[in-house]
Amino acid sequence: MSVSLNDNLMVEADPRKRERARARERVSERARARERAQAQQSARASASATERKSERKRNRAQERARDSVREREREQAQQRASKRASASKRECKSERKRESARASARDSESERETETAREREREREQARERTRESERERARAQE
């Protein structure tokens, strides 16, 4: 004879059957507890995997942002270097022009000095020639 209780446990009139039913219920309860624990573990693992995935996504986004900043800084450094190189090239060209102008001025000055020296030498030679000529005339006049 079976009697049904609120906990769905069939209570037998026979104590052995009742004990076996209780044992089956304990086994079932342990199985349900194991399933709940596995479900909780699975949920935790899933949440953990989702969190790791989100973390990787955040890390990738941060790395892309850092890469972008590094690329922008590299481009700016390259532009600054290019501007410095252009300025340096212009300065070198200007310096070469100035040096060339100074050399040209030195050459012109040197040529003027050389020409002046030649002119003085010609004048001295002419003066010597005039002196010799006048001495010859004096000598002829004395003869």
Q: Are the C-beta atoms of 12 and 22 separated by less than 8 Å?
A: no
Q: Is residue 3 part of a domain?
A: no
Task: Give bridge partners of residue 2 from the DSSP assignment.
Answer: 12
| pLDDT 10s digits, 46-101 | 999 999 999 999 999 999 999 999 999 999 999 999 999 999 999 999 999 999 99
pTM higher than 0.85 for the full model? no
- Domain enclosing residue 64, as ranges: 11-142
Reported confidence tier of residue 9, pLDDT bands at 50, 70, 90: very low
- If one counts the domains in the chain, the total is 1
78: left (phi over 0), alpha (psi -120 to 50) or beta: alpha
Q: Which helix (H) or strand (E) holds 10?
A: strand 10-12
Q: Is residue 96 part of a domain?
A: yes
DSSP structure class, residue 5:
-
